[in-house]
């Protein structure tokens, strides 16, 4: 149902203002991250929190977790940021990387299964390729006759 412009005008204006504010916050946040990386800016960050790739945090969205794990860790500390669910730009400081040995063992098992599945796919693709290069015809009537001759009576 189409509503009159007078009824939705304020909602549209507020939505556009919020979009523009988020855009500006993102631009300013990226500039702050660049300053942090160059050492020109020092900020006080809150208490350090461990973040898992599974994104099981009530304070950090799954999208932000993906962003954190995509940051290059060549130079530490590393920084990233993004707009949170409240529309504010949040900067994250990455101090280091810890690998849980229990998860590493579990990952090895999963990687073995993954590699085995990939090998089967490779073999299937190779067989399909061979079938296109070398046509194979089956003479089913000969196979059935050979099978009948071998059956004991």
Q: Along the chain (153 residues), what's the average pLDDT of each consecutive run of 10 residues?
A: 88 92 91 93 89 75 86 91 84 87 79 92 92 78 68 57
92: DSSP letter: E
For the chain, what is the radius of gyration of the CA atoms?
30
User: What does each C-alpha distance from 90 to 53, 67, 84, 99, 138 come to in angstroms?
Assistant: 19, 12, 7, 25, 66
User: What does each C-alpha distance from 124 to 35, 111, 128, 130 come to in angstroms?
Assistant: 52, 20, 6, 10
The reported pLDDT for the residue numbered 16 is 95
């Amino acid at each position: 149902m189409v509503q009159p412009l007078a009824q939705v005008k304020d909602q549209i204006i507020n939505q556009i203002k919020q979009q523009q504010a988020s855009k500006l916050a993102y631009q300013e946040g990226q500039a702050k991250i660049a300053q942090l990386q160059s050492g020109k800016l020092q900020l006080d960050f809150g208490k350090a929190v461990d973040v898992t790739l599974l994104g099981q945090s009530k304070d950090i969205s799954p999208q932000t977790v993906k962003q954190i794990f995509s940051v290059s860790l060549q130079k530490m500390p590393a920084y990233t940021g993004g707009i949170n669910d409240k529309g504010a730009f949040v900067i994250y400081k990455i101090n280091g990387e810890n690998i849980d040995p229990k998860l590493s063992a579990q990952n090895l098992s999963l990687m073995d299964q993954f590699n085995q599945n990939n090998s089967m796919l490779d073999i299937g693709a190779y067989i399909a390729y061979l079938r296109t290069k070398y046509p194979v015809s089956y003479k089913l009537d000969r196979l059935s006759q050979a099978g009948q001759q071998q059956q004991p009576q």
